Amino acid sequence: MRTFSLDIGNTAVKYGYFQDDVLVESATHQTPDQVRAAVQRLQPEHAIVASVAEPTATWATELCDTLPGLVLEFVPASTPLPIQNGYATPHTLGADRLAAAVGAAWLLHGRNVMIIDAGTAIKCDLVDANGVFRGGSISPGLAMRFQALHTFTGRLPLVERPANLVTPIAFTGDNTLSAIQSGVLNGAAAEVRGFVEEYRAQYPGLAVVLAGGDAAFFHARLKGSIFVIPELVLLGLHRILVHHVST
């Protein structure tokens, strides 16, 4: 089966082209014209569209005009899933969080899995060994933290994220720039480490999966075995589409 997953995020539009569960091609920061050209070139059979930023109808309609098969608009509250959704308010659940959970549960079937999706926001979510999405936490991402300190204070400057996020940041900043960098970067790392430690205490043998644009930053700062799967959301969307087509 050839599928096309389209993930419309807060800061970027991404696509993934799969052949029988293998991600053959993906791209980020795509315009509508680039997506259209990719679909015409790759000729997928089916597609799925998910968004946390804008309605999916326009994208889906355009794909319907191009593809021979199903074009699925992913709605977390109503789209059939290969896992159970235990979230109390599914109508408020972001498509990216649920798709990442589906991808993690498929890759690590039968295990308790913590998913850390580090992008515009930092989402720490849990899928248990029975394949039930339990929910988790949402906090500001790295760029948002830097921006907030500047926006909501009178004199703190806007500090850009370091180009190399893997390099350690001094814990004790000796000037305003380095103090902000320490607070944002070391603070975010300490926050996520705390969540990992708490989940590991509650769920022995927990698997931890990292995804999102800032995955490398957290991978360099977390201990223990960590799976880094940058395209986890695209994989989850693909598995939701396969489940839908097969049933």
Q: Let me know: does 6 contact 27? Beta carbons within 8 Å.
A: no
The residue among 209, 139, 189 whose CA lies nearest residue 181 is: 189
Q: Indicate the range of 12-16, 133-137, 233-237 predicted with least confidence.
A: 12-16
Cα–Cα distance for residue pair 205/159, rounded to 1 Å: 39
Structure pTM? 0.93
pLDDT digits 0-9 by tens, 37-72: 999 999 999 999 998 887 787 888 878 788 888 889
pLDDT reported for residue 93: 96
pLDDT digits 0-9 by tens, 64-80: 788 888 889 999 999 99
Query: Exactly one of 20, 65, 96, 117 is catalytic; which is it?
Result: 96
Please, what is the average pLDDT of the chain? 93
21 flagged as catalytic: no
Whether the per-residue pLDDT at 18 is higher than 90: the answer is yes
Placement of tokens 């190399």 in the chain: 164
pLDDT reported for residue 138: 97
Cα–Cα distance for residue pair 157/188, rounded to 1 Å: 19
* Sign of the dihedral through C-alpha 95, 112, 143, 217: negative
pLDDT reported for residue 77: 92
| Structure-token pair, residue 153 | 């204070």
pLDDT reported for residue 150: 97
Question: Three-state SS for 121?
Answer: strand
Q: CB count, 10 Å around CB of 175?
A: 8
Mean pLDDT of 28-33: 87
Torsion of CA 236, 238, 243, 244, to 10 degrees: 120
